[in-house]
Amino acid sequence: MANAKGRRRRFGAIRRLPSGRYQARYPGPDGVMRPAPFTFETTADADDWLAEKQTEIRRGQWRDPDAAAVNFGVYAEKWIEERDLAPLTEDLYRYLLSNHILPTFGTADLDHITAPAVREWRTERLRRTGAKTTTAKAYRLLKAIMETAVDDDLIQRNPCRIKGAGKEKAAERRIATVAQVDALAHAVGMRWRLMVYLGAYGPLRPEELAGLRRRDVDLDTLRIRVRLAEPERTNGRRVQGDTKSEAGTRTVVLPEFLRRELRWHLESYAEPGPDGLLFVGERGAAFRRSTFGRRWRKAREMVGMPEGFRFYDLRHTGHTLSTRSGATLKDTMVRAGQSSEKAALIYQHSDDERQEQVAAGLDATVRKARAATAKQAPDEAPDGPSGTDLARDT
C-alpha cells in the first residue's frame, strides 16, 4: 500500500482528501479494508491511530466496528429469551429491565455504554428511588448482560466495574412467636389457617403450598410430600414447575399438634380426589396471590404485627423454632428444602428418624408456649380448632 507521497506503508494506508485533512484505512483480521470513523489533521495523527489499530489486532483485542453497533435493548431482550429461567426469575428480570435499565440504556448501542455512564445511572437510581436492594439487582442484571456481550466479542470490556454494587444487604428476618402465629392463623380465616401453619411449621414456600394435592398428604404418618411448585406470575397465571432446587423435592414430617388442623382442612376445604388442590379460593379455583395478600395484610394488622412482616417470614420463624428444638443445621436444611455447597454439610446426615425427632421437638416447643399463653390470658375459643384446642389434642 502506498501513502500520498508514494511511500510504502507496513500497515494500512493514508491519503489526503480534497479538504486537506487525511483519511486512514486499515485491513481487519478478515482482510476487509476499513476507514477510520473520522479524519485527521496531520499524517502523524493518522499514523498514531493506525498503530493503535495494529496493536489491537496483534493482541486479539480488535472488535469489528460494524458488529459492535448492536442495540442494547434488542440484545437484552434476546439475552433473557435465550436463557432457561424459572418463571418468577424471568418476570423479575423483565421488570428490572423495563423499569430500571431500558429507560436509560434502551436506545444505546452496546459499545456506547461506558463505565462512567453506568456509574451515573446507578447513582441516579439510588437518588431517585432510594431502593438499594432493587438497584443492586438491576446492576447485577446489567452486568450479566454486558458480560455476555464481552463473550460474544461485541465489546472489549464490561463497563460494570463498581465494586460491591451488586451486593444486597438483607434486613434481619423478623421472627413471630408461637402466640403470634396462632393469632395470624385465626385472623386470616378458617380457609387459610392451615396455610399459615404449614408456612411456619413446614416450613413450606408459598409456591410449594400452591402446588400441594391431596395425594401429597399422608394424614396417618403426618407427612407432606413436596413434589412441585406453582408460582403465580405477574400476569396472574400459575405455572407448574419444579421446586426451587433439588433439595426442595422432599418429604416434610409435621409436628403432632397439626394432625387435627390438617384433618379438619382436608374435610372442609381441599378439593376432592387425589389430584385435588389442598388450597383453593372461595370460588373453588386456585387461590390468587393478590386475594390472599389482602387477607394476610388485614390479619397482620389485626394481630399488630409489623407492616414489613411477610408471609415468607414464617419460614424463618419455623427455622428458628426447629433449631431451638434441637435440630442441627443439616436437619433444618432438609426440612426447609435448602441446598448448600459447603463441604462440611456433605458429611452430615438427616434421615427419616431424625426428622421425626425434630418434628416431635417442635411439637413440644409449640405446646409449651401455647400452654403458657393460655395460663396468662385465657381467651374465648374461636370457631374451629384453636391454638388452645390443639395444645390439648393428643
pTM over 0.85: no
In the predicted model, is pLDDT for residue 394 greater than 50?
no
Mean pLDDT computed over 35-53: 92
Q: What is the pLDDT of residue 275?
A: 92
% of the chain surpassing 90 pLDDT:
47
For residues 183 and 103, state if they share a domain: no
Whether residue 165 is contained in a domain is answered as: no
Whether residue 158 is contained in a domain is answered as: no
| pLDDT band at residue 390 using 50, 70 and 90 as cut-offs | very low
Whether residue 195 is contained in a domain is answered as: yes
Residue-number span of the structural domain to which 28 is assigned: 13-59
| pLDDT band at residue 20 using 50, 70 and 90 as cut-offs | very high
d(CA 175, CA 178): 10
Structure confidence by residue, pLDDT tens digits, 89-123: 899 999 999 999 999 999 999 988 999 999 999 99
Indicate the angle between helix axes 313-324 and 329-336, nearest 10 degrees. 140
Whether residue 159 is contained in a domain is answered as: no
CB 355 within 8 A of CB 331: yes
For residues 293 and 346, state if they share a domain: yes
d(CA 310, CA 200): 12
Lowest-pLDDT range, 64-73, 131-140, 213-222, 231-240? 231-240
For residues 226 and 374, state if they share a domain: yes
Q: What is the pLDDT of residue 392?
A: 47
**How high does pLDDT run on average in the chain?**
83
Q: How many folded domains does the chain comprise?
A: 3
Structure confidence by residue, pLDDT tens digits, 136-166: 999 999 999 999 999 988 888 899 999 999 8
In the predicted model, is pLDDT for residue 58 greater than 80?
yes
For residues 327 and 196, state if they share a domain: yes
Whether residue 163 is contained in a domain is answered as: no
For residues 230 and 298, state if they share a domain: yes
| pLDDT band at residue 43 using 50, 70 and 90 as cut-offs | very high
For residues 238 and 123, state if they share a domain: no
Q: Which amino acid is at 297?
A: R
Whether residue 310 is contained in a domain is answered as: yes
For residues 347 and 213, state if they share a domain: yes
Residue 101 carries which DSSP code?
A: I
In the block, which residue shows the cell 385465626?
186
Domain boundary among 37, 59, 81: 59
Reduced to 3 states, what is the DSSP secondary structure of residue 247? helix
For residues 147 and 183, state if they share a domain: no
